[in-house]
Each structure stands twice: as C-alpha cells, then as structure tokens.
C-alpha cells in the first residue's frame, strides 16, 4: 500500500518524520531513479526508494529499549573523536536503533532507544512535556539554601526555567542527594540549574522518564520495554 515517503523513512527508524521531510526537501531521497518530492507516496513492494543513495529496506519490526547508560559513553551511534558510544552497549539488539534525547558524557541512567521515528519524535517534542527525574549528588556550602533557590525560577543561558519538583532525599555535611524533576529539558539543564544555585554536581543519573522507571537495571545493561510501558507514553501524548 502506498504511504508518504517521510512516514516510510520514520518507520524504518532512520530518523523522525520531521527530519525525513527535510532531507526530501533537500533532494536526498529518490523514488525509482528520480528525486522525490515532499508529499509523494511510494509502495516498497513495487517502488525503489533510496535515501542518500542507499535502499530503504530491512526489518520493519519496531523495537523499544531501555538502556542504563554508564558514565563515559556519549549518546551517539558513532563518535568522530573515537570515544565510547551507546551503540557499543546495544550491539546485540539485532537491529538499528537510535537514542531518544541525550545524556551527556558524565551523566548516566535511563535512556530510551528505538527505531520508531514517530514514537521518538513524540517523546522529544516540547509540547508533550514528558517529565524526567534525576538523582543528583551535589556539594555546596549551604545545601538547604541552595535547594530553596532550585525550587524557584532560575536563569540559565538567559532564560528563566523552573523545576517541576526538587526533593532533598539525603544530606551529610556539605554533600546531599537531590531528586530533580524537569519538563522539556534543555542541554545540561540540571547541571546549569545546580550551578546557578551554588552547587557542584558530583554525579547525575536519570531515574525516571514519564511513567518509566530505571529500577534495578544494572549499569550498561538494557531491556525491551513492555507493551504497557510503550502504551503509557502514547497515553501521555493523547
């Protein structure tokens, strides 16, 4: 059955539908030997679709994985600097999958990976406001005062942001464990919020995204999401 080309590309996990629309507009997709146009449909049973000269084919089974990313790994499928990346941790997943969002090199914890481009786009789109909770080990001169600063609006990169929740779960002298929940999530947002409040981050782990929790999954290990877990994100988007 013919489908829009951007949908086919997203279903094969190459990228989100929005990104597919851009490469079609850039002339990087062809159908039966001619440059495709935005909105064109194709049937992979009868048409040859090339993306950057490579055929769109392979297993269309959608896969959804939860990885407990360790520190020291970059959230990319390859790295020009030769650093360890998350693709090395899911090599036995049996198909190409991609990370949804990012965790920086020195952060760890819950990372969703999938080959479902539309699903990934829903999770990342700011309008869906999927909450993310981080366990953050910090040090500072006055932890209680810094926590109060974190609970109010703080300014990072010239923009005012506010955490959905900040909980002080443990404190010992000048060190403490915080649970910080944010919505959209900008680049290194939690670290920048802590710096604004006078705190130095010693460790940062994402432990929850939407209704999905990291649980007792060991560092560097992964598991498939259950049908109920996948559906919970779709309900959050409804």
Q: Which residues of 163-186 are buried (b: 16+ CB within 10 A; e: fewer)?
A: beebebeeeeeeebbbbbebeebe
Q: Residue 49 — φ and ψ, nearest 5°?
A: -110, 125
Instruction: Give me the helix-helix angle, 117-124 and 227-237, nearest 10°.
Output: 50
The C-alpha atoms of residue 119 and residue 9 are separated, in whole angstroms, by: 13
104 is catalytic: yes
* Tokens 């009868």 sit on residue: 46
Question: Do residues 17 and 6 make contact, with C-beta atoms less than 8 angstroms apart?
Answer: yes
**Annotated catalytic residue within 26, 59, 92, 104:** 104
Phi-psi region of 215 (alpha: psi -120 to 50; beta: other; left: phi over 0): left
CB atoms within 10 A of CB 4: 17
Catalytic positions are 104
């Amino acid at each position: 059955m013919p489908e829009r080309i951007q949908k086919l590309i997203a279903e094969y996990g190459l990228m989100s539908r929005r990104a597919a629309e851009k490469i079609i507009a850039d002339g990087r997709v062809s159908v039966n030997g001619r440059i495709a146009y935005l909105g064109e449909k194709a049937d992979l049973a009868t048409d040859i679709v090339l993306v950057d000269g490579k055929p769109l084919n392979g297993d269309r089974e959608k896969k959804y994985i939860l990885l407990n990313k360790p520190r020291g790994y970059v959230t990319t499928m390859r790295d020009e600097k030769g650093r360890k990346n998350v693709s090395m941790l899911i090599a036995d997943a049996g198909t190409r999958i991609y990370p949804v969002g990012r965790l920086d090199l020195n952060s760890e914890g819950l990372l969703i990976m999938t080959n479902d481009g539309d699903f990934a786009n829903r999770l990342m789109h700011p309008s869906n406001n999927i909450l993310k909770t981080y366990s953050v080990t910090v040090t500072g001169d006055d932890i209680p005062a810094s926590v109060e600063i974190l609970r109010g609006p703080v300014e990072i990169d010239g923009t005012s942001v506010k955490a959905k929740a900040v909980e002080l779960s443990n404190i010992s002298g000048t060190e403490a464990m915080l649970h910080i929940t944010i919505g959209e999530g900008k680049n290194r947002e939690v670290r920048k919020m802590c710096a604004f409040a006078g705190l130095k981050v010693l460790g940062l782990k994402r432990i929850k995204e939407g209704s999905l929790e990291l649980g007792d999954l060991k560092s560097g290990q992964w598991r498939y999401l259950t049908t109920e877990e996948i559906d919970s994100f779709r309900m959050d988007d409804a």
